[in-house]
């Protein structure tokens, strides 16, 4: 038995256990609410962003992540907004990577829109990042510009290429949107797998007021699977990355395809995740409004006791699941905050 395995047996890590016996081992941290795109299902076109004083400093984010790691978190995903637009983000990631080197953390991953990847891909790999998720809902330049309101898809393609060349494993995330990309899902799958990338389809979620009706956007992934099954052989596989996606192998391409289905197939029974916003609000569930203010705890003391107790209190309130619903009878948005606030 190796020394690291022996040390784990002699000094077992503490665990954050919620009221339903689930160990919280996965922390998603939004490092900024800002983004260089304005995707129509995620943000309003004219967003009002937070003042600097409300946003956790990089030092505060490092301290917060470190306490979660000490309490048993094994995986951290950095999100936004767009995490790579945060000033000095690489110094933060390089600092966080000390926990990878010490064995306390298994993985640091990033969810990005890809626009900054050409600039940062090599630095991310050097800092210990090995996997990234890139959000990409279309392969057509004009449609990409429409859904992001002004984005240049070539910057994303160049970023994905740079990421692969740097040694990063790329998983593409596509939100399935009725009347927008439902006719592209098969071409997207074929393109992703031809490039060696995994692909995950995601149902749109009722988060925040947007310019439009989500009933007009919502495309159940049960319908998508039927469409795919008419062309491909889909084999369910036990592959896991720590998140909510259920994976299958496409026999004809040899690639993996994931489904994230918060509405048609609730994934809450095995939830191991919590989310911290860039202002330090800890959300125990993406689909609930209950939260705990960790910023106040961070700023209350130079020590970590207050912060640690606040985390314990929050985890003791983690709900069993979310209450997402999209239908014509549901006139209000269940969760008022935008996806960009909580970091997806």
Closest CA to 197 of 161, 233, 222, 152: 161
Is 295 inside any structural domain? yes
Is 145 inside any structural domain? yes
Is 296 inside any structural domain? yes
Other beta carbons less than 10 A from residue 214's beta carbon: 18
- Is residue 276 part of an annotated ligand binding site? no
Distance CA 307, CA 68 (A): 10
Residue 333 has pLDDT above 60, yes or no: no
Model pLDDT for residues 115-125, shown as the tens digit of each residue: 999 999 999 99
What tokens were used for 2? 């190796």
- Is residue 205 part of an annotated ligand binding site? yes
DSSP 173-213: EEEEBTTTTTTTHHHHHHHHHHTT-EEEEEE---BS--SS-
Question: Mean pLDDT throughout 101-109?
Answer: 97
Closest CA to 133 of 99, 191, 183, 82: 82
Listed ranges 19-23, 148-152, 231-235, 319-323; the one with the highest mean pLDDT? 231-235
Tell me, what CATH number does 143's domain have?
3.20.20.70
Higher pLDDT, 133 or 214: 133
CA quadruple 241, 129, 82, 53: dihedral, nearest 10? 110
- Is residue 111 part of an annotated ligand binding site? yes
pLDDT at 70: 97
- What secondary structure, in 3-state letters, does 35-71 show? CCCCCCCCCCCCCCCCCHHHCCCHHHHHHHHHHHHHC
Question: Mean pLDDT throughout 187-213?
Answer: 81
The range of the structural domain enclosing residue 106 comes to: 16-342
Is 280 inside any structural domain? yes
- Is residue 273 part of an annotated ligand binding site? yes
Categorize the per-residue pLDDT at 343 as very low, low, confident or very high, splitting at 50, 70 and 90. Answer: low
- Is residue 44 part of an annotated ligand binding site? no
- Is residue 77 part of an annotated ligand binding site? yes
pTM, full prediction: 0.86
Are residues 219 and 262 in contact, defined by beta-carbon separation less than 8 angstroms? no
Is 200 inside any structural domain? yes
- Is residue 65 part of an annotated ligand binding site? no
Distance CA 269, CA 244 (A): 10
3-state secondary structure of 150: coil
- Is residue 32 part of an annotated ligand binding site? no
Is 313 inside any structural domain? yes
CA-to-CA dists, residue 339 to 34, 80, 113, 115, angstroms: 12, 9, 14, 19
DSSP 97: T
Structural domains in the chain (count): 1
Chain-centre distance for alpha carbon 117: 16
- Is residue 103 part of an annotated ligand binding site? no
Is 5 inside any structural domain? no
- Is residue 35 part of an annotated ligand binding site? yes
What tokens were used for 102? 């010490």
CA quadruple 93, 267, 275, 320: dihedral, nearest 10? -150
- Is residue 274 part of an annotated ligand binding site? yes
pLDDT at 270: 74
Is 10 inside any structural domain? no
Model pLDDT for residues 44-73, shown as the tens digit of each residue: 777 778 899 999 999 999 999 999 999 999
Question: Mean pLDDT throughout 178-194?
Answer: 95
DSSP 218: B
- Is residue 253 part of an annotated ligand binding site? no
β 255-260/198-203 pair status: parallel
- Is residue 256 part of an annotated ligand binding site? no
């Amino acid at each position: 038995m190796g020394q690291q395995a022996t040390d784990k047996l002699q000094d077992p890590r503490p665990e954050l256990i919620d009221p339903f016996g689930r160990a919280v081992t996965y922390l998603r941290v939004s490092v900024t609410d800002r983004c260089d795109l304005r995707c129509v299902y995620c943000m309003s076109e004219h967003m009002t962003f937070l003042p600097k004083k409300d946003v956790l400093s990089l030092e505060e984010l490092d301290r917060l992540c470190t306490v979660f790691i000490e309490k048993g978190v094994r995986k951290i995903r950095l999100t936004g907004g767009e995490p790579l637009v945060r000033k000095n983000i690489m110094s933060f990631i390089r600092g966080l990577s000390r926990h990878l080197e010490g064995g306390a953390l298994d993985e640091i991953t990033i969810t990005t829109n890809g626009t900054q990847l050409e600039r940062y891909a090599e630095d991310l790999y050097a800092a210990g990042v090995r996997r990234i998720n890139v959000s990409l809902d279309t392969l057509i330049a004009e449609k990409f510009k429409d859904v992001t309101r002004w984005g240049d898809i070539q910057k994303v393609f160049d970023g994905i290429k740079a990421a692969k060349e740097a040694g990063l494993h790329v998983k593409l995330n596509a939100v399935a949107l009725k009347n927008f990309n439902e006719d592209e899902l098969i071409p997207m799958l074929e393109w992703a797998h031809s490039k060696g990338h995994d692909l995950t389809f995601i149902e749109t979620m009722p988060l925040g007021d947007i310019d439009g009706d989500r009933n007009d956007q919502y495309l159940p992934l049960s319908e998508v699977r039927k469409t795919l099954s008419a062309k491909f052989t889909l084999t369910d596989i036990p592959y896991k990355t720590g998140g909510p996606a259920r994976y299958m192998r496409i026999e004809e391409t040899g690639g993996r395809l994931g489904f994230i289905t918060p509405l048609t197939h609730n994934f809450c029974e095995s939830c191991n995740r919590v989310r911290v916003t860039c202002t330090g609000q800890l959300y125990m569930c993406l689909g609930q409004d209950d939260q705990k203010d960790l910023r106040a705890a961070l700023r209350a003391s130079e020590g970590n006791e207050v912060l640690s107790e606040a985390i314990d209190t929050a985890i003791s309130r983690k709900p069993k699941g979310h209450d997402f619903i999209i239908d014509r009878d549901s006139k209000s948005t269940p969760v008022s905050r935008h996806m960009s606030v909580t970091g997806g």
